[in-house]
Structure 1
Amino acid sequence: MLLRHVSRSSSLMAAPTDKRNERLAPEAINVAARALNRNRSAGPPTGRDVQMTWYQEFFAVQEAMFTFHQGRIPLLVSIPHLGTEIPAAIAAQMTDAALSVADTDWHLDRLYSFAKSAGASVLGARFSRYVIDLNRPPGGESLYPGQTTTGLCPAETFRGEPLYLEGNEPEQDEVQRRLERYWRPYHQKLRAELDRMKQQFGQVLLWEAHSIASVLPRLFQGRLPDLNIGTNAGASCDASILEAISSELVKGQPFTWVANGRFKGGYITRAFGQPSSGIHAVQLEMCQSTYMDEDAPFSYRQDLAERVQPVIERMMSAATAATSKLRAATS
């Protein structure tokens, strides 16, 4: 049973009653079972039809952790903070501030809808970063030592509000459980798709799509630039890719921007961006004010999005073209 930022009084707050297998999400198995039934040949059911095998169950759970679209060009767009779902057993331990999932990277699947049409692969999280942050190291170490940030299983919102009712913060064994159940499937899918693309294209681009409120005094001073490009200080992609992006941003577009400023790239950018191996990673952290209302209910603003979408599209197109040139140069 899952929650999508609902009030604590909701009947969905009840803990799941299906205990047949703690490893598996029953709703995911049901979805896969219905698909299996649709493909079943005519005739009486066999034992194999009646009960899903362990590998079908495993596949169903893996797919339930994220949404994925496979493309046809050497570009993978990853949106690890898109999710808003919280399992009911976890939500029962959380504060009302947590259930609002305010720190979600809202609407990025909609903002980046052009990417699928362009042929990109797109991977998006289903579960909230409050369950576990897919863009943090599995060991929980800080990516920005000496600066305020949030951890693998965060205990506070960006504004410092507690996420858990007193005494309900996750212990280490619970953190490990969430790591295995929610974090690893996303990263395994990332790796599998990048490996597939690399085998086909030789050089590939991972575009990490993020957004954040433009003013968060606890995390940074003043107002954040509209577009924040991170390449781990140049280590996560070939220099020509950042140059191509920068060349688009100096062509008279209306948004402020910076490269490798406050946000240099999270764990995914740093871990997967290996230019020497043909995998290049770029993170774009956008101010949410460029395409949506930053206050609840966090509405998408089509009038704003129409201004920033073409800029993002040109940035991605330039970066993808630069990646393809690297392939031509090394072939």
Structure 2
Amino acid sequence: MASHEIPNVLRRTDPVGSPAPLVLDSPHTGLLFPPDFRPSIPMAQCERVADWYVEELFGAGPEHGAILIEALFRRAYIDPNRSERDLDLSMVESGWPDPVDTTEKTARGASLVWKVIDGETAIYDRPLTIDEVRHRIATYWRPYHEALKAALDETFERFGTVFHIDCHSMPEFGDARWGDGGERRADFIVGTRDGTTASPAFTELVVESLRASGYSVAVNEKFKGVELIRRYSNPSAGRESLQIEVNRGIYMDEAAIRRSERFGATKAAITRMIAAVAAHARSIAG
């Protein structure tokens, strides 16, 4: 299994054996906070933010012919699943020279550079400088996007089609910020931005595979997908992307941040789904 790494930025693992027209990416499992992070709150509070173990849950992808790309830096430092224009100017010194397009993520304090932890605790007690933000974009955000785009483009050029799964995890229970406070979420939520980034056939294959393993699956509820599937999908041209959120309650103890006894079964179900998608993708490619 060949892997290529940009130290502290990303890791790309290439397929074992015959490649499939399938790319997986895990943008939020990185655990590195670079030295210039400098929060005003305890680092331990910031370190609880990650899509824990997602790169392991989807780690069998290369064995089934997929390319797997993982971010190594923390999403709160800079979030690769946001547009470079989704920036909260209230946390940056005046004079930001580049275009800005804010979203609902900006209002939640979780835009390109996170403003708050847990939806309420301010990370910084100072404005970030323009140079700081530009450094984060150039050193971490842009290389991740370049690596993902390169993997998708080379796969498409080889097969004439490419299927992309953007891999995430979510808290077991909802909260007021998402309008589902206290409710237990589905085991998996599949997001396609209301059907704009993936075909019904791709979506249904993923949903039915996970349901066949005994899990509950919702589609486009709360988590519909953000920048990475929006930016790189074009279903009518053979480029399909969807996002999968895995409920942490089916594989880990969230409070202790450790794998639970259900981890193995959940990973096996995800591996079966990956195998089904890889087979489907190969059949489409002919």
What CA deviation, in whole Å up to 9, does each residue of 1:288-323 have, x standing for no partner? 111111114x1122x211221222223223333333
Aligned equivalent of 2:221: 261
Give 1:194's aligned amino acid.
Answer: L
Going from structure 1 to structure 2, the CA distance change for 1:293 and 1:279 (only over 3 Å counts) comes to same
1:199 to 2:145 alignment:
no
User: What does the per-residue CA deviation read over 1:197-242, in whole Å, with 9 as the maximum and x for residues that have no partner?
Assistant: 1111111111111012122414321222110101111111122111
CA distance in 2, matches of 1:210, 1:246: 15
Q: Is the 8 A contact 2:211 2:217 kept in 1?
A: no
Structure 2 Cα separation of the partners of residues 321 and 188 of structure 1: 27
Given candidates 114, 126, 132, the residue that maps to 2:60 is: 114
Contiguous gaps of at least 5 residues in structure 1: 1-58
**Structure 1 residues 179 and 321: alpha-carbon distance in aligned structure 2, compared to 1, 3 A threshold:** same
Any conservation in 1 of the 2:8–2:32 contact (CA below 8 Å)? no
Contact 1:142–1:149 under 8 Å retained in 2: no
- 1:160 maps to which of 86, 109, 120: 120
| 2:76 aligned residue | 130
Of 258, 269, 274, the residue aligned with 1:299 is: 258
Q: Indicate the residue corresponding to 1:228 in structure 2.
A: 189
Q: State the shift of 1:326 in Å.
A: 3.0
Structure ranking higher on relative contact order (CA contacts 8 Å, 6+ apart): 2
**How far off is 1:145 after superposition?**
7.3
Structure 1 residue matching 2:262: 3-state secondary structure: helix
Query: Once the two structures are superposed, what CA deviation does each residue of 1:124-166 show, in whole Å capped at 9, x if it has no partner?
Result: 01110111001011100455479746111001113422222x2
Counterpart residue number, 2:235: 275
Q: Is the 8 A contact 2:10 2:71 kept in 1?
A: yes
Aligned amino acid, residue 95 of structure 1:
I
Q: Distance in 2 between matches of 1:77 and 1:145?
A: 23
Give the whole-Å Cα distance in 2 for the aligned partners of 1:208 and 1:146.
21
Distance 1:117 1:162, change over 3 A: same
Percent identity of paired positions between Structure 1 and Structure 2: 25
Name which of structure 1's ranges 179-188 and 137-146 shifts more when overlaid on structure 2.
137-146
Partner amino acid for 2:74?
S
- Corresponding residue of 2:25: 78
Partner of 2:91: none
1:98, 1:163 within 8 Å by CA — same for their partners in 2? no
Larger radius of gyration: 1
Query: What is the CA deviation profile of residues 74-124 of structure 1, one whole-angstrom value per residue up to 9, with x for unaligned ones?
Result: 11110000111111222x334215654212011112222222222221110
Q: Considering fraction of residues, name the structure with more strand.
A: 2
Q: Go from structure 1 to structure 2 and tell me whether the alpha carbon gap of 1:320 and 1:256 turns closer, same or farther (over 3 Å shift).
A: same
- 1:58-77 matches, cutoff 5 A: 62=6, 64-71=8-15, 72-77=19-24
One-letter identity of the residue aligned with 2:149: R
Residue 29 of structure 2 corresponds to residue 103 of structure 1: no
Aligned partners of 1:149, 1:228: CA distance in 2, in Å? Answer: 22
Q: How many residues align?
A: 263
Q: Establish whether residue 213 from structure 1 lines up as the match of residue 171 from structure 2.
A: yes
Contact 1:159–1:218 (Cα < 8 Å) also in 2: no
Deviates more, 1:100-109 or 1:178-187: 100-109
Change (3 A) 1:86 1:250: closer
Shift of 1:176: 2.2
Q: How far is 1:63 from its partner? A: 5.3
Q: Give, in whole Å, the separation in 2 of the partners of 1:98 and 1:290.
A: 24
1:137 and 1:146, CA in 2 relative to 1: closer, same or farther beyond 3 A? closer
**Aligned partners of 2:59 and 2:115: how far apart in 1?**
32
Residue 284 of structure 2 corresponds to residue 326 of structure 1: yes
TM-score by length of structure 2 reads 0.83
More helix by share: 1
1:148–1:218: 8 Å Cα contact kept in structure 2?
no
Q: TM-score w.r.t. structure 1 length?
A: 0.73
Deviates more, 1:94-103 or 1:110-119: 94-103
- Contact 2:57–2:270 (Cα < 8 Å) also in 1: no
Q: How has the CA–CA distance of structure 1 residues 98 and 280 changed in structure 2, closer, same or farther, with 3 Å as cutoff?
A: farther
CA RMSD of aligned residues (A): 2.3
- Aligned equivalents of 1:106, 1:188: Cα separation in 2: 24
Retained in 1: the 8 A contact 2:11–2:71? yes
Q: Structure 2: which 5+ residue stretches go unaligned?
A: 87-100
Q: Does 2:269 align with 1:311? A: yes
